[in-house]
Amino acid sequence: MVVNFAQKHTSSIDLKQVFQNIDAQSCPRCFNFHMHTVYSDGKLEPSQVMEQAIAIGLQGLAITDHHSVGGYYAAQSWLEDWKWSNRGADAPQIWSGVEINANILDVEVHILGYAFDTEHFSMRPYVQRKITSGKEYQAENVIDAIHEAGGVAVLAHPARYRKSHFDLIPEAATMGIDGVEAFYAYNNPKPWKPSYTRSQQVQELADKYGLYCTCGTDTHGDSLLRRV
């Protein structure tokens, strides 16, 4: 799938257009919307992330460090310098991203925020490199904050929690979640590929509740092509 990003500014509208076409083959070599750097619990420097993204030929990505946008800022700056030095070369599109701990049905889950204004006041509690508490820890408020900042909210790896995705996804939908990470490799296979049964189940729930499907390797190690 080839997407043309005509505008320099990439908003949540641009990202939603991509999400509408994500499938099991999109990740890890076309798009990757879940990865970590040294700004949270990953091993890669943001510059290494971008070098790998270019080498792989990614069309688009988001760095989703836990409660931090520092890796996104560093990667964005590196990419701008690279584009200046390699004018005319194809470059991946990078969206702002973050992974936030939150509570749904008395279970801790992770919510991915994308394409939001990183300087918006609503996101300040969630980009301080620490887990929030109280009202700010409730998933509905996390989702609202991402939306207020113009972003898209996605439930990460919905089949990894202490409650079933058959319970969590409908509840997240009532809270206004925009999407679910449908294509995820739960058993960390090599090479990376989404877990068939759970991915299919999550897709079906996404269709039922009108949610976008996303994909990502959830990279914590030294390669964007696997989780660890």
Give me the CATH topology for the region 12-215: TIM Barrel (3.20.20)
Q: How confident is the model at residue 127 (pLDDT cuts 50, 70, 90)?
A: very high
Q: How confident is the model at residue 2 (pLDDT cuts 50, 70, 90)?
A: very low
Residue 126 makes CB contacts below 8 A (sequence gap 6+) with 67, 98, 100, 113, 132, 136, 142, 145
Residues 184 and 221: their CA atoms lie apart, in Å, by 16
Tell me what pLDDT residue 49 has.
98
Tell me what pLDDT residue 88 has.
84
Residues in the chain: 228
Q: What is the mean pLDDT of residues 120-130?
A: 98
Q: How confident is the model at residue 10 (pLDDT cuts 50, 70, 90)?
A: low
pLDDT cut 70: percent of the chain above it: 96
By CB atoms closer than 10 A (0-12, 13-18, 19+), residue 30 is buried
Tell me what pLDDT residue 11 has.
81
Side chain identity, residue 47: S
Which stretches of 15-80 are assigned E, i.e. beta strand?
31-32, 60-62
The predicted model scores a pTM of 0.94
Q: How confident is the model at residue 140 (pLDDT cuts 50, 70, 90)?
A: very high
Residues 88 and 80: their CA atoms lie apart, in Å, by 13
* Tens-digit pLDDT profile for residues 53-109: 999 999 999 999 999 999 999 999 999 999 999 998 999 999 999 999 999 999 999
DSSP calls for 76-87: HHHHHHHHHHTT
C-alpha to C-alpha distances, 39 to 46, 70, 89, 124, nearest whole angstrom:
8, 6, 28, 16
Nearest to 153 by CA among 97, 203, 106: 97
Tell me what pLDDT residue 211 has.
98
pLDDT cut 90: percent of the chain above it: 94
Residues 50 and 37: their CA atoms lie apart, in Å, by 11
